Amino acid sequence: MGGGMSVSIVYSDALTSLGWGEELFDNLVAGKTGLKRANEVFENLPNPELAGMIGTINGICGEERVPQILDKAFRTILPPIAYASDLVVGGCSLGDLAGSDAGNPRAALVKAMEKVWPSKIPPTTLVSSACSSGTDAIIVASSAIKSGMADIVTVIGFDSLGAGKLIQHIALGTQSADRARPFDSTRSGTSFGEACGVMILANESGMDKLKSASIGRIASFGMSSDSYDIAAPHPDGKYAANAIRNAIKGINLQELGYINAHGSGTNLNDQAEAAALRLVFGDYLDQVSVGGTKGALGHSLGATGIVEAVLTLKAMNRRLYPPTTGLLNIDPQLALPLIRHSQIRSGSHRFGLTVTFGFGGVNSALLMEAS
């Protein structure tokens, strides 16, 4: 989807298990990981040998984690220009039905905003589309600007990982007993985590009001649904491919230098994603750098889309593509041009693509242009 009013990015940052700000990206480029053993974070887990590693935020304790995460994020990564927003769009999964954070994440977001906003908070809505929530929140915000409904929109994607949610994913078989190894021949599941990302979007009028320069642009986006299975992606990737095609429609492929893959590390997701990318790009895919962050940060559920959008934009602007932490041996059946754990590739291409796939067959792709 493209056309209409231009959507500029004037600010972006993320609070993660590896920190925030420049330190976050520097740690990622260095191949560091924020993952730790789950039984070091949560006591009395049943079958702790199955719990593997997780990516939780330092200083966040107990089960009621969403308010703590939002409070810390608002202290560290929410800039004062957010207070000029016409609209706030949140993104969070509702998959925490067994924990104390279950309920209404929009209410938690509004409550956290009321603590820091210097005046009446703007209209606030929330997108919940499983692991694509953060990406879809950016898409909703972009659409609000393109339609002329808003000049400045702040997007806040957040999610928590409590013991209850972790136990659910162990039961589902999606949490690795080892650690996330995206696209690896020995991959055995993901490593769940938590995070909060903030991205502020504006049109030209909004940038004038903020006196802020553009650090990038939402060039386009695509969305699709598998309509296949509540938890598994369509194995041949054809519906995920539709989302990607819609996002890159109209660009010169030679201007695309970097793809941030969803790369959860589960057997089914990585197979379907590799198939989707090959369907869209064919042999040209081998000329693009493909990487993923979940082996470093963990899979932060509803926050993962905005976190990875923040990092994709940073990679494009720094002209530095971080490695796929956790990857040791690329699965030969996937045949992807992955950035290895020991490699850092530089480039100066115009566009970067980030993709997210969620339970229920939700597929989202976001194309961003570097500044």
Could you give the residue numbers annotated as active site?
A: 131, 262, 299
Asked whether the beta carbons of 151 and 10 are under 8 A apart, the reply is: no
Backbone angles phi, psi at 96, to 5 degrees: -100, 45
Q: Strands of 351-358's sheet, edge to edge?
A: 124-127, 87-91, 152-159, 195-202, 8-15, 216-225, 362-370, 351-358, 256-260, 289-291
Residue 152 dihedral angles phi and psi, to the nearest 5°:
-135, 125
Q: d(Cα 36, Cα 83) in Å, to the nearest integer?
A: 35
Both tokens assigned to 208 = 């004038």
Tell me if 25 sits within 8 A of 41, measured CB to CB: no
- With residue 68 as reference, give the H or E element that holds it: helix 66-76
3 state DSSP class of 118: coil
* Nearest in space to 246 (alpha carbons), one of 219, 226, 223, 276: 223
Give the CA count within 13 Å in the CB-facing half-sphere of 195.
Answer: 39
CA distance 277 to 279: 5
Closest CA to 108 of 60, 54, 160: 160
Contact 305, 133 (CB under 8 A): yes
DSSP three-state, residue 220: strand
CA 101 to chain centre: 20
Q: How many Cβ atoms sit within 10 Å of the Cβ of residue 229?
A: 13
Pairing of strands 256-260, 289-291: parallel
Spatial CA neighbour of 133 closest among 299, 352, 326, 7 = 299
In the chain, the N- to C-terminal Cα span, in Å, equals 20
DSSP state of 18: T
